[in-house]
Amino acid sequence: MKEAEIRRLLAANLLCVFSIILTAVLPAFFWDRFTVLGTHLTWLCICSVCVSTLNIVLHLVLKPNLTPKRSSFAHKISRFLKCCIYFFMSCILFHAIIVLYGAPLLESVTETFLFAVLLSTFTTLQCLCILGPNIQAWIRVFSKNGAMSIWETSLQITTMCSILGAWFGAFPIPLDWDRPWQVWPISCSLGATFGYMAGLIIAPLWIHWNRKQLTYKSR
């Protein structure tokens, strides 16, 4: 395993972490009364857009796919449309799962859906960037010993950390503390964000420490 590839992964992940920090700080210079808690829905939109844009740009620049293939323009358009459909379906699926886990069904629909978009940005969008709209590849990566590159291992770690962070973020909501961050879905979205950022930092470090034990099969 090449150290240069791990450094590329670390640099890309740190850029994503830095972009999330900027979404919480930079808008306050342009919008009055902007805060992550006070204008949470606005921050959710900004964070989702920024992380999505940066992930796509990094994918185009770094090209983490193991076997990039040349394809026609029509194939690229078809692939892009499939990715858009998959992302939208992911948002709907996450929305349904969140409701099944106790989120309001009719009330706070906008809040729930934007939280679902954020989760899809942290999980599904990365899968689409690295694996494309290939469900079989997704199943392979998230099965035991299914990763075939450090990028796929990082994908496993960041996805799990994001979902676990969102789940742990739901614990304070029913507590009778009357804190502003207990309003739905602030604690969950913050938990998912911190989980995603933790995964971005943990992934390259874990890969570096276990690089001698990690063996990737060729496709």
Mean pLDDT within 80-93? 96
The dihedral formed by the CA atoms of 185, 191, 196 and 197, expressed in degrees to the nearest 10: 120
**Mean pLDDT across the chain, nearest whole number?**
90
pTM, two decimals, is 0.92
Residue type, 10: L
Tokens 């920090």, located at residue: 21
Mean pLDDT within 39-46? 95
Q: Say which residues have a Cβ less than 8 Å from residue 215's Cβ, sequence separation at least 6.
A: none
% residues pLDDT > 90 (the chain): 68
Q: Are the beta carbons of 169 and 189 closer than 8 angstroms?
A: yes
Q: Are the beta carbons of 193 and 200 closer than 8 angstroms?
A: no
Residue (of 108, 87, 91, 117) closest to 183 by Cα position:
108
Flag whether pLDDT at 66 surpasses 70. Answer: no
Determine the Cα–Cα distance for residues 170 and 58; give it in Å rounded to an integer: 31
Higher pLDDT, 13 or 177: 13
pLDDT of 180: 85
Flag whether pLDDT at 179 surpasses 70. Answer: yes
The dihedral formed by the CA atoms of 195, 200, 205 and 211, expressed in degrees to the nearest 10: 110
Residue (of 50, 60, 185) closest to 122 by Cα position:
50
Mean pLDDT within 192-212? 93
